[in-house]
Chains A and B, each alone.
Chain A
Amino acid sequence: MMHNFAGWAMTDRQRAQTEQAYVLHSYPYRETSLLLETFTQPYGRITMVARGARRPRSALRGVLLSFQPLSLGWFGKGEVRTLSRAEWHGGHPLLQGEALLCGFYLNELLLRLLPREDPHEVLFDHYRQALMALARSDASAVVLRGFEKALLSELGYAMTLDRDGDTGNSLDPAATYTYDPERGPVRILTDGSEVSAEPLLQGKVLLDIARDDYRDPLTLVQAKALMRVLINHRLDDQPLRSRRIFRELLAL
Chain B
Amino acid sequence: MKSPSTLEDLISALRCLPGVGPKSAQRMAYHLLQYDRAGAERLGLAMGRALQSIRRCARCNTFTEAELCQLCSSAKRDASQLCVVEAPADQLMMEQTLAYSGLYFVLMGRLSPLDGIGPREIGLDVLQRRVSDGLVKEVIVATNFTNEGEATAHYIGEMLKARGIRVSRIARGIPVGGELEYVDSGTLAQALIERRSV
Contacts and interface: CB of A to CB of B under 8 A. Distances in A.
Partners in one complex: yes
Contacts of A100: 147, 150-151, 154
Does more than half of chain B's interface fall in helix, strand or loop, or is it mixed?
helix
Interface in A90-126: 90, 93-98, 100-101, 103-105, 107-108, 111
Interface in A194-221: none
A242 B147 CA distance: 14
Given A25-B114, A101-B113, A104-B113, A90 B154 contact: no
Give the interface residue-count category, chain B: 20 to 34
Given A62-B186, A105-B113, A249-B155, 10 more contacts: A31-B18, A62-B184, A63-B186, A90-B189, A93-B190, A95-B147, A241-B113, A245-B118, A248-B120, A252-B124
Given A90-B189, A100-B151, A249 B114 contact: no
A245 B119 contact: yes
Interface string A35-69: 00000000000000000000000010011011110
A3 interface: no
25 contacts: A25-B114, A62-B186, A62-B187, A63-B184, A65-B146, A66-B147, A88-B185, A90-B189, A100-B150, A101-B151, A104-B113, A104-B114, A104-B147, A107-B114, A241-B114, A241-B116, A242-B113, A242-B114, A244-B118, A245-B116, A245-B119, A246-B113, A249-B111, A252-B128, A252-B155
A57 to B, nearest CB: 13
A59 B186 CA distance: 12
A241 B111 CA distance: 12
Contacts of B119: 245, 248-249, 252
Contact of B113 (A28, A63, A108): A108
Contacts of A62: 184, 186-187
Interface string A220-252: 000000000000000000000110111011001
Contact of B154 (A28, A63, A96, A245): A96
Contacts of A90: 185-186, 189
A94 B154 CA distance: 13
B17 to A, nearest CB: 10
A96 B155 CA distance: 11
Contacts of B124: 252
Contacts of A66: 147
Interface of A: 25, 28, 30-31, 59, 62-63, 65-68, 88, 90, 93-98, 100-101, 103-105, 107-108, 111, 241-242, 244-246, 248-249, 252
B115 interface: yes
A100 B115 CA distance: 15
Interface string B128-148: 100000000000000000110
B19 interface: yes
Nearest to B172: A94
Given A67-B147, A97-B154, A88 B114 contact: no
Contacts of B179: none
Nearest to A94: B190
Contacts of B189: 90, 93
B113 A88 contact: no
B114 A111 contact: yes
Contacts of A93: 189-190, 193
Interface string B7-27: 000000000001101000000
Contacts of B181: none
